């Protein structure tokens, strides 16, 4: 009888062990599936397959409605896909949660601020980002986003202060970017002082801005405007030249503004010499076209030589060359220029900047659809 009890006890123990093992395995299966699914999402995100990532995140959000991190990631993707209203709604829904962790609340405020910036609501964006920075005063990403939002809102004093604080917090290798950001903000302060009629204050500020960001086209443009306001013809001409060489995509309006300022305060000969120097050395097609259109009548040979140098990269330069030769009465040369076969423009992906074959709708590198853009246009957008 005792042997029977021993056998029954052993069988019962085995049954309990098997049941426990089955329960553990069954409990682990959903967790393992969730981990595998999230790993797939991370892989697809690294590959740039945004649409599939968004679809997967929507399914994960339905299965795990209490995970705010998933919703924040989905909102960020929605903003990148142009669905800003839905991103904004998701961020506000997440913020309404009473038991939301502090770091997730910061992330939600930052996301909401970026949504508002994408819609052009700078003041509202600054409010959301200020809430975020009050909750996480040491967050570098939040502080940088706030500084850029303040710049867009024209709050130059606060933007300069935010960049200065950012510079003190970042590692030494990143401080240069912070200084450049502060230089842009200080240049904005200088222009604001100029609008208020305080030219001397503007001059002090612009000198500081140049110390912080000496290679910024925006800062040199502000320097040129301050110098023009003070009647400093030489300083103005130098600053205009630096501005259009550093920002060639904006050369057309900059050259026009420079000519107007020089006509008002003097210095047209000096400005023309600087324009001619930039024309002869310039390699950016947009800059060469802008200068050639202004100097073609007075210096046709220099303009023709510069346009010939860049015409293979720019249809606008080729067209300007044809027009200039016709204006000079060089009909045969104009015909030759018009008939010359130009190499096809280089096409890159707007999303990842990789070169794409022509007449393709989807990038082979990152998978983005309808992202093909001319290389020169991409450079102008980046500038």
**326-358 pLDDT, tens digit each:** 888 888 777 776 666 656 667 788 777 777 776
pLDDT at 380 over 50: yes
Q: For residue 26, what pLDDT band results from cuts at 50, 70 and 90?
A: very low
Q: Please state the rounded mean pLDDT for residues 155-169.
A: 90
What per-residue confidence (pLDDT) applies to 47? 56
27-67, pLDDT tens digit by residue?
A: 444 555 555 555 655 555 555 566 776 777 777 777 777 78
3-class state of residue 172 by DSSP:
helix
Mean pLDDT for the stretch of residues 233-262: 93
Note the pLDDT tens digit of each residue in 170-204.
888 888 989 999 999 999 999 999 999 999 999 99
Interatomic CA distance for residues 16 and 234, integer angstroms: 93
pLDDT at residue 259 is higher than 50: yes
Strand-pair category, 347-349 with 372-374: antiparallel
Render pLDDT for 80-99 as a digit per residue (tens, 0 to 9).
888 889 999 999 988 888 78
pLDDT for 275 equals 96
pLDDT at 37: 52
The token duo for 171 is 């590692």
Query: What percentage of the chain reaches a pLDDT higher than 70?
Result: 80
Rounded to 5 degrees, φ, ψ at 68 are: -65, -30
Kindly give, in sequence order, each residue whose CB lies less than 8 Å from that of residue 291, ignoring residues fewer than 6 positions away: 251, 255, 275, 278, 279, 282, 303, 306
> Domain segments of the chain: what residues?
248-253+267-343, 346-383
Q: What is the pLDDT of residue 357?
A: 75
Q: How confident is the model at residue 383 (pLDDT cuts 50, 70, 90)?
A: low
Q: What is the pTM of this model?
A: 0.69
The mean-pLDDT minimum among 18-27, 75-84, 100-109, 117-126 falls in 18-27
- The radius of gyration computed from the CA coordinates of the chain, to the nearest angstrom, equals 30
> Does residue 16 have a pLDDT over 60?
no
Task: Write out the two tokens for 268.
Answer: 């047209």
Helix count (H) and strand count (E) of the chain?
19, 2
pLDDT higher than 70, residue 378: no
Q: How many Cα atoms occupy the beta-carbon half-sphere of 186 within 13 Å? A: 25
Average pLDDT of the chain, as a whole number:
81
Token representation of residue 236: 């103005």
Q: Is the model's pLDDT at 8 over the cut of 50?
A: no
Closest CA to 108 of 138, 65, 79: 79
pLDDT band at 207 (very low <50, low <70, confident <90, very high): very high
Whether 297 and 328 have beta carbons less than 8 Å apart is answered as no
pLDDT band at 210 (very low <50, low <70, confident <90, very high): very high
């Amino acid at each position: 009888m005792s042997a029977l009890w021993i056998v029954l006890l052993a069988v019962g123990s085995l049954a309990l062990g098997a049941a426990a093992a089955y329960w553990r395995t069954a409990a682990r299966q959903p967790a393992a599936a969730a981990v595998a699914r999230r790993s797939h999402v991370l892989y697809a995100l690294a590959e740039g397959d945004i649409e599939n990532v968004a679809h997967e995140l929507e399914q994960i959000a339905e299965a795990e409605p209490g995970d705010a991190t998933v919703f924040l990631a989905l909102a960020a993707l929605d903003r990148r896909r142009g669905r800003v209203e839905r991103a904004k709604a998701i961020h506000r829904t997440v913020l309404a949660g009473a038991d939301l962790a502090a770091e997730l609340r910061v992330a939600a405020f930052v996301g909401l601020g970026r949504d508002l910036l994408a819609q052009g609501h700078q003041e509202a964006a600054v409010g959301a980002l200020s809430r975020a920075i009050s909750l996480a005063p040491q967050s570098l990403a939040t502080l940088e986003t706030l500084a850029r939002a303040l710049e867009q809102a024209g709050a130059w004093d606060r933007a300069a202060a935010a960049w200065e604080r950012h510079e003190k917090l970042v590692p030494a290798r990143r401080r240069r970017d912070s200084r450049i950001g502060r230089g842009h903000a200080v240049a904005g302060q200088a222009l604001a002082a100029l609008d208020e009629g305080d030219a001397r204050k503007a001059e002090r500020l612009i000198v500081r801005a140049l110390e912080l960001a000496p290679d910024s086209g925006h800062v040199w443009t502000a320097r040129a405007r301050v110098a023009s306001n003070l009647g400093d013809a030489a300083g103005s001409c130098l600053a205009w030249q630096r501005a259009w060489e550093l920002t060639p995509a904006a050369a057309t309006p900059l050259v026009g503004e420079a000519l107007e300022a020089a006509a008002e305060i003097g210095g047209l000969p000096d400005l023309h010499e600087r324009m001619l120097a930039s024309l002869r050395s310039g390699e950016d097609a947009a800059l060469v076209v802008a200068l050639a259109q202004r100097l073609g009548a007075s210096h046709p040979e220099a303009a023709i030589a510069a346009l010939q140098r860049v015409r293979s990269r720019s249809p606008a330069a080729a067209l300007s060359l044809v027009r200039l030769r016709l204006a000079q009465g060089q009909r045969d040369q104009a015909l030759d220029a018009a008939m010359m076969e130009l190499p096809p423009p280089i096409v890159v992906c707007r999303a990842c900047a990789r070169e794409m074959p022509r007449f393709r709708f989807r990038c082979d590198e990152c998978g983005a659809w309808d992202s093909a853009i001319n290389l020169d246009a991409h450079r102008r957008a980046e500038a």
